[in-house]
Copies of this chain bind each other. A is one copy, B any other.
């Protein structure tokens, strides 16, 4: 399944990029496939793998900020893998051309 993870340390003010840089290290350390976007990070794995990463990221952010909002969206297609790109590929096949990604 694919998870979209967004972590917002309140009290961090306008700039979130420093806090997010710390989280990227955790995500990369998991060995799972990921893609970063302007709104969060897409990561592919099993429920337990994904929630393990989400938990480490959430509590890393909590160490530096006394209030943290964490948002998780999971799209579970069952056994399929390669879905970070696969979901966009299928739309491109329906359109018969590439989209911006």
Interface residues of A (CB under 8 A from B): 2, 4, 8, 10-18, 20-21, 24-25, 28, 33-39, 42, 47, 51, 55, 58-59, 62, 66-78, 83-88, 90-91, 93-95, 99-101
Contacts and interface: CB of A to CB of B under 8 A. Distances in A.
Contacts of A25: 95
A42 B95 CA distance: 19
Complex copy number for this chain: 4
Contact of A24 (B67, B70, B86, B99): B99
A12 B14 contact: no
The majority secondary structure among interface residues of chain A is mixed
Most interface-central of A86, A90, A99 (chain B CB within 10 A): A99
